């Protein structure tokens, strides 16, 4: 019997997670059954259970993907705007990039579902906390630059970064509830709040 390649395993795992994501977006975590995921993926129970022995493993997998996407968007925006010192411009670009990701894979919808699940699942809450610490650290570098230029002195860079980062969950929540047209003005509003 031929050995299954690592790439095939990764592809199959991604395929199952994509199917689970679609089910979770439609029905939420608790109203999605493993049978729903089997049907959505077009795979047998054994094929899915080989990668994800229980539904909680699918939830953790989808949550990890979502967190990676959000953190990746933030890192990408900070890298692209490395020479931009206007915090409002950087945050606006972040919101625009998140909106693009949401259009592709319902990023905001999954974020809201993950947050609610994290209230009852300590392991998931710890994942969210770790991601928030990492993203706050990434954003703190931008704040330190502003502080070195003489602005935003009076509070530690990490605290200011945490406050700025809190805009992202609010944006994601509104995006999940209102859709892209309901948050279309947010990037310009952020630019107006922090024009310098």
**At 30, phi and psi to the nearest 5?**
-80, -20
Read off the pLDDT of residues 165-184 as tens digits, 9 standing for 90 and up. Answer: 899 999 999 999 999 999 99
* CA distance linking residue 52 with residue 157, whole number of Å: 40
User: Counting beta carbons within 10 angstroms of the beta carbon of residue 12, is it exposed (0 to 12), middle (13 to 18) or buried (19 or more)?
Assistant: middle
Read off the pLDDT of residues 25-73 as tens digits, 9 standing for 90 and up. Answer: 999 888 999 999 999 999 999 999 999 999 989 998 999 888 888 888 8
Read off the pLDDT of residues 81-118 as tens digits, 9 standing for 90 and up. Answer: 877 778 888 899 999 999 998 988 899 999 999 998 89
Task: Assign a CATH topology to domain 62-193.
Answer: Tetracycline Repressor; domain 2 (1.10.357)
CATH 1.10.10.60 residue ranges for the chain: 1-53
CATH 1.10.357 residue ranges for the chain: 62-193
Q: Which of 21-25, 116-120, 184-188 has the lowest mean pLDDT?
A: 116-120
**At 32, phi and psi to the nearest 5?**
-95, 125
Report the pLDDT value the prediction gives residue 151, as an integer from 0 to 100: 77
Q: Average pLDDT for residues 14-32, to the nearest whole number? A: 94
CATH 1.10.10.60 fits 1-53, yes or no: yes
Report the pLDDT value the prediction gives residue 1, as an integer from 0 to 100: 52
């Amino acid at each position: 019997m031929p050995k299954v390649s690592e790439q095939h395993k990764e592809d199959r795992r991604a395929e199952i997670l994509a199917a689970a994501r679609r089910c979770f977006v439609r029905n939420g975590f608790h109203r999605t059954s493993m049978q729903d995921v089997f049907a959505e993926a077009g795979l047998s129970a054994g094929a899915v259970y080989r990668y994800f022995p229980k539904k909680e493993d699918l939830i953790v997998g989808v949550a990890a993907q979502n967190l990676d996407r959000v953190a990746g968007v933030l890192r990408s925006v900070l890298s692209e705007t490395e020479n931009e010192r206007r915090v409002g411009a950087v945050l606006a670009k972040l919101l625009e990039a998140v909106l693009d990701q949401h259009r592709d894979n319902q990023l905001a919808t999954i974020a809201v579902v993950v947050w609610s699940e994290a209230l009852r699942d300590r392991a998931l809450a710890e994942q969210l906390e770790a991601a928030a610490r990492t993203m706050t650290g990434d954003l703190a570098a931008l704040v330190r630059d502003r502080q070195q230029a003489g602005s935003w002195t009076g509070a530690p860079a990490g605290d200011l970064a945490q406050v700025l980062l809190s805009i992202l969950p609010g944006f994601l929540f509104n995006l999940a509830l209102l859709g892209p047209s309901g948050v279309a003005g947010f990037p310009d509003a952020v630019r107006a709040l922090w024009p310098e």
